[in-house]
Amino acid sequence: MNERDSETLAGVCERLGLSPCEDPADAEVAVLNTCAVREKPQEKVYSRLGELRKLGGKRGGPIIVVTGCVAQIDADQLRRRGADIVVGPRCYDMLQAALEERMLGVAFIEDRDRPMVEGLPAARDSELKAFVNIIYGCDNFCAYCIVPYARGQEQSRLPEDILAEVREVVAGGARDVTLLGQNVNSYGHDLPEPIDFAELMRRVDAVEGLDRLRFTTSHPKDMTQELIDTMAALPSACEHLHLPIQAGSDAVLEAMGRGYSYAHFRSLIDAARAAIPGLSVTTDVMVGFPGETEGDFEATLRAFEEIRFDQAFMFKYNDRPGTRAAKMEPKVPEEEKQRRLLELVALQNEVAREINVAAEGEVFEVLVEEADPKSEGKVRGRTRQNKLMIFPGPEALIGKMATVRAVKGYLWGWVGERV
């Protein structure tokens, strides 16, 4: 979602006549788009802010704009540490006016309850792949998570606005579209004419010229058989499901306020795999949630052994001030969290490699994205399962679909050959 926001911020800057420059010392404006979901990226904002301030010298340095979730939850501190303009994630339509008025003084714009505005420009990173927001904010308040405090309540976009954006990106050459939301399964509940996510998928699938449709993120407590059946039925819906497990222990899931048990999560994966042949399943997980015992952690290991995810984003829990979990005890010591993380990563890496090795010899459709930066004469792209494939081929293939046999499997994907 931050990547998609950055495209909007770049679009607003372009509209003002600004263009990217190589060296921050030459910049008139520096925009730091920030993430508050973990501690480290938030700390980095302040060190980057300090570096940008030092560029000041006699010329005064760039106008420093801080956007994103840290801007929403930490505006006062950002002001004290030298940000000129602070814009929360719901207020990007006001960035242009704030920059234009910069000469008049410092601007702080954060209002997480403000309705999102349609029609902002976007300078998109890729022509082939596009992210399209469908719902902003989150109403779930999982115990560890800062997102609802930073991005506010859920607000669905109107289906016609979403469809117009999908048509626009497809007309511009996008072949792979990802529908974005903190919880896409909540889509539509707040709209005047009720529509659910499965129905939205059907309407997006009907857009002419769209080859691949994906979505992220889906919350297990709201995932339905209807959505699984819809994925299975729609030609453009990719064989890839990202479903965050977060923990394998029911006690920890309960303390997190996630609203599902491990058995329920497992039944969703089983149902999806049964309905969608060749499905890849990826997840998010954290270790060391307050009160997580060795037994709880072992339940997570067992879950990973049983489910065998294709890929996982694995993190150590850390406190986000203001959340319920920040006040929960006992905290798991840092070195223990580190040990658990390394153990889980080792297991997951082994599983991912085994899955890819087992698929050697299979043939995949690959959307070729670019020349392989590491080897001459090769190109690379993604399968519908969102796995990386590198294979010998001319650059003329970029932007096209290729049929490729997986020759050798690695942790990250395959080296293949054209069929």
Binding site for ligand SF4 (CB under 6 A): 138, 140-142, 145, 147-148, 182-183, 219
Q: How far apart are CA 35 and CA 151, in angstroms?
A: 11
Q: How far apart are CA 86 and CA 60, in angstroms?
A: 18
**Is residue 150 within a helix (H) or strand (E), and if so which, with residue range?**
helix 147-151
Least distance CB 124 / ligand SF4 (angstroms): 24
Least distance CB 182 / ligand SF4 (angstroms): 4
Least distance CB 138 / ligand SF4 (angstroms): 3
- Comparing CB distances to ligand SF4, the nearer of 10 and 142 is 142
Longest CA–CA span in the chain (Å) reads: 65
- Comparing CB distances to ligand SF4, the nearer of 10 and 146 is 146
- Comparing CB distances to ligand SF4, the nearer of 169 and 312 is 312
**Is residue 6 within a helix (H) or strand (E), and if so which, with residue range?**
helix 2-15
- Comparing CB distances to ligand SF4, the nearer of 102 and 264 is 264
Q: Residue 143: helix, strand or coil by DSSP?
A: coil
Decide: 385 and 240 in contact? Cβ < 8 Å: yes
Least distance CB 185 / ligand SF4 (angstroms): 10
Least distance CB 263 / ligand SF4 (angstroms): 20
Rg (CA), the chain: 22
- Comparing CB distances to ligand SF4, the nearer of 128 and 241 is 241
DSSP per position, 181-222: -TTGGGTTTTSSS---HHHHHHHHHTSTT--EEEEE---GGG
Tokens describing residue 89: 């994630």
**Is residue 165 within a helix (H) or strand (E), and if so which, with residue range?**
helix 159-171
Least distance CB 37 / ligand SF4 (angstroms): 8
Least distance CB 27 / ligand SF4 (angstroms): 32
Least distance CB 5 / ligand SF4 (angstroms): 15
- Comparing CB distances to ligand SF4, the nearer of 151 and 240 is 151
Q: How far is CA 44 from CA 23, 89, 131, 323, in A?
A: 19, 18, 25, 20
- One-letter amino acid at 303 equals A
- Comparing CB distances to ligand SF4, the nearer of 66 and 147 is 147
Decide: 28 and 62 in contact? Cβ < 8 Å: yes
Q: Show Cβ contacts of residue 368 under 8 Å, excluding neighbours closer than 6 positions.
A: 379, 380, 381, 393, 397, 398, 399, 400, 401, 402
Q: How far apart are CA 67 and CA 75, in angstroms?
A: 10
Least distance CB 141 / ligand SF4 (angstroms): 5
**Is 260 exposed, middle or buried (CB count within 10 Å of its CB: 0-12, 13-18, 19+)?**
buried
Q: How far apart are CA 362 and CA 49, in angstroms?
A: 48
Q: How far apart are CA 170 and CA 207, in angstroms?
A: 8
Give the Cβ contact number of residue 42 at 10 Å: 20
Least distance CB 13 / ligand SF4 (angstroms): 27
- Comparing CB distances to ligand SF4, the nearer of 39 and 305 is 39
Pairing of strands 176-180, 212-216: parallel
- Comparing CB distances to ligand SF4, the nearer of 147 and 341 is 147
- Comparing CB distances to ligand SF4, the nearer of 139 and 226 is 139
